[in-house]
Amino acid sequence: MNIIVIGGGASGMMAAIVAAKNGAEVTLMERNDRVGKKLLATGNGRCNYTNENINLSFFHGEDIEFIKTALDGFNRDRTIEFFESIGITPAMEDGGKIYPNSFQASSVLDCLRYEMHRLGVAIRANSFVGEIRKNKDGFIVILKSGERFICDKLILSTGGMAMPVSGSDGNGYNLVKPLGHKINKTTPALVQLKLKWDKLKQINGVKVVGEITLIHKEKEIKSDYGDLLFTDYGISGPPVLQISREAVRLFENGDSPIVRITIISNRSKDEVYGYLLKRFNTLSYKSVEDALVGFINKKMILPILKELDINKEILAGNLEKRDVKRLAELFVKWDFQVIGHKGWGQAQTTAGGILTKDIDPLTLESKLIKGLYITGEILDVDGDCGGYNLQWAWSSGYLAGYNASC
Ligand SMILES: Cc1cc2nc3c(=O)[nH]c(=O)nc-3n(C[C@H](O)[C@H](O)[C@H](O)COP(=O)(O)OP(=O)(O)OC[C@H]3O[C@@H](n4cnc5c(N)ncnc54)[C@H](O)[C@@H]3O)c2cc1C
């Protein structure tokens, strides 16, 4: 059996390894001069390759039941076992995130490359596939350079649209569209959000530990808690990435979602109000500006007072209760309109992709083109932040590699 895998990313390398282990003759085509460019950037260069808690609720797509066989088959335990077998010792961090004990994404790539080499996978770098054709015996794979290759089975692992500099720029969709596959609308996910507020520049770089909630038409859609970072364009940080999929989708549909940020957490508005009254009473001799120093980040004080139209020089003891209430309200419920996102260049994954109803969930073989298998981010499947996207890459790569080589 002669198999070509197109795309040397996470799912393509896994598919190549499994197919080669199963006895197939495997060639991996990668457009870049080396495989695994994106893998090196994962987890801030540390590669969060799976998570202690894996279930369907961490994944998204039009039909999420589609991933069940792949995810149950090559599950978290088998993933950890596989990586241990090639040299990667797991280490767990907050939120069940699992990294290599070296905390180096490069070590994961080194071990995958070593394993491909050991199993005799032929890696063809600088091989940008421009067209695939089906014939009665199998496939013809045509590079942009004009070179042609034939194979019995084909595995398409060209990734989605996130981080186009890594080689995943959505060109893979164009390889399967002529074969009849349809693509669900793609939008960036796990991406920073642009917010509307004329004073954002003044709080650029301020970090708070708090909650962010996405609100649409007064309904709470999703929220998350953790480190939030204000920037000159809006907001970033892990909780922002977690709510970004839905925020981007609403924004791209022409809606104006709101994000509500809690900069003082775990206290009700009334509790914060009561605390501020006490604080301003104790520090009544200070201006309200000085009286807030030590309670919230200093950089935020003036922009917030300005926003609420409160005179910064007024003595804390003389501040009207109505204004103390408004301050308390903003600290627990600060609303911003979402006016965009940082786009594909910053996104970590792709929401949308090849329609999964045209793929057999038990094998990942195309229902339209026999012998064609599809893996990873190019499919209409995406995961939350926390190792879920790589888990999908490994699980889908395993299932496709195994079935293509049977
Ligand atoms: C900055 C960043 C950090 C991330 N961190 C994490 C993390 O810590 N944990 C996690 O779970 N997920 C993370 N992700 C997401 C994860 O990396 C991806 O979901 C995963 O790599 C997708 O694997 P894939 O095999 O589908 O595609 P990719 O890894 O994107 O690989 C596709 C490959 O195909 C090649 N290719 C494309 N078109 C062609 C063609 N026509 N011919 C030949 N080759 C082609 C590309 O060059 C690329 O090498 C992160 C993503 C980014 C951008």
CA of 186 to the centre of ligand 1 (A): 15
Residues 126, 106 share a domain: yes
6 in contact with ligand 1, CB cutoff 6 A:
yes
Domain-ending residue, one of 341, 367, 388: 341
Task: Give DSSP secondary structure letters for 204-267.
Answer: TT-EEEEEEEEEETTEEEEEEEEEEEE-SSEEESHHHHHHHHHHHHHHHTT---EEEEESS-SS
In this prediction, residue 350 carries a pLDDT of 98
Same-domain status, 127 and 153: yes
Look at residue 51 and give its three-state secondary structure. Answer: strand
Q: What share of the chain is helix, strand, coil (3-state, %, to 5)?
A: 40, 25, 35
N-terminal to C-terminal alpha carbon distance within the chain: 9
Q: Does residue 237's CB lie within 6 angstroms of at least one atom of ligand 1?
A: no
* Domain assignment of residue 25, yes or no: yes
Give the CATH number, domain containing residue 314: 1.10.8.50
Same domain membership, residue 135 and residue 7: yes
257 C-beta closer than 6 A to ligand 1: no
Domain of residue 225 covers 189-264+334-341
Would you list the DSSP string of 321-366? HHHHHHHHHHHH-EEEEEEEE--TTT-SEEEEEE-GGGB-TTT-BB
Q: For residue 79, how far is its CA from the centre of ligand 1 (angstroms)?
A: 17
142 & 103 share domain: yes
Residue 278 lies in a domain: no
Q: In what order do the strands lie in the sheet with 90-92?
A: 50-51, 97-100, 90-92
Ligand 1: centre distance to CA 364 (Å): 18
CA 27 to CA 1: how far, in whole Å?
11
Q: How many domains does the chain have?
A: 3
CA–CA separation, 220 vs 324, rounded Å? Answer: 26
What CATH code is carried by the domain that includes residue 236?
A: 2.40.30.10
- Is the CB of 390 within 6 Å of ligand 1? yes
**Distance of CA 217 from the midpoint of ligand 1 (Å):** 35
Residue 377 lies in a domain: yes
**CA distance linking residue 382 with residue 64, whole number of Å:** 9
From 141, 142, 390, the mutation candidate for ligand 1 (largest count of ligand atoms within 8 A of CB) is 390
Instruction: Give pLDDT, residue 118.
Output: 98
- Return the pLDDT at 373: 99
Pocket probe mutation, ligand 1, options 4, 5, 71, 168, max atoms within 8 Å of Cβ: 168
Q: Say what the pLDDT of residue 120 is.
A: 98
Quick check: 171 and 342 in contact, CB under 8 A? no
Give 295-298 contacts, CB < 8 A, sequence gap 24+.
296/263, 296/264, 296/331, 297/203, 297/206, 297/207, 297/208
199 and 165 co-located in one domain: no
Q: Based on the domain organization, do 110 and 89 belong to the same domain?
A: yes
pLDDT at residue number 11: 99
Tokens 């197919």 — which residue?
A: 19
DSSP secondary structure code for residue 380 in this structure: S
- Residue 132's pLDDT is 98
Among 17, 79, 158, 394, name the best residue to mutate to test ligand 1's pocket (greatest count of ligand atoms within 8 A of Cβ): 158
Query: How distant is the alpha carbon of residue 153 from its chain centre?
Result: 30
Ligand 1 within 6 A of CB of 395:
no
Residues 181 and 79 in one domain: yes
Q: Is 87 left (phi over 0), alpha (psi -120 to 50) or beta?
A: left
Answer yes or no: is the C-beta of 38 below 6 A from any ligand 1 atom: yes
**Which residue owns the Cα nearest ligand 1 atom 9?**
387
What is the C-alpha separation between 17 and 393, in angstroms, rounded? 13
Considering the domain boundaries, does residue 271 fall inside one?
no
How many angstroms separate the alpha carbon of residue 95 from the centre of ligand 1?
22
Asked whether residue 119 falls in the same domain as residue 146, the answer is: yes
Mark whether 150 and 98 lie in a shared domain.
yes
Same structural domain for residues 65 and 147?
yes
Q: Is residue 19 part of a domain?
A: yes
Contact 359, 379 (CB under 8 A): yes
Distance between CA 73 and CA 328 in Å, rounded? 50
Strand order in the sheet with 2-6: 122-124, 25-29, 2-6, 153-156, 372-374
In a domain, 129, yes or no: yes
In a domain, 346, yes or no: no
Q: What is the CATH number of the domain that holds 390?
A: 3.50.50.60
Rounded to the nearest angstrom, the distance between the alpha carbon of 159 and the centre of ligand 1 is 5
Angle at 174 between CA 105 and CA 25, to 5 degrees: 60
pLDDT tens per residue across all 406 residues of the chain: 999 999 999 999 999 999 999 999 999 999 999 999 999 999 999 999 999 999 999 999 999 999 999 999 999 999 999 999 999 999 999 999 999 999 999 999 999 999 999 999 999 999 999 999 999 999 999 999 999 999 999 999 999 999 999 999 999 999 999 999 999 999 999 999 999 999 999 999 999 999 999 999 999 999 999 999 999 999 999 999 999 999 999 999 999 999 999 999 889 999 999 999 999 999 999 999 999 999 999 999 999 999 999 999 999 999 999 999 999 999 999 999 999 999 999 999 999 999 999 999 999 999 999 999 999 999 999 999 999 999 999 999 999 999 999 9
Domain match, 40 and 154 both: yes
pLDDT score of 141: 98
Domain-embedded: residue 355 = yes
Binding site membership of 171 for ligand 1 (Cβ less than 6 Å): yes
Q: Note whether 40 and 158 are same-domain residues.
A: yes
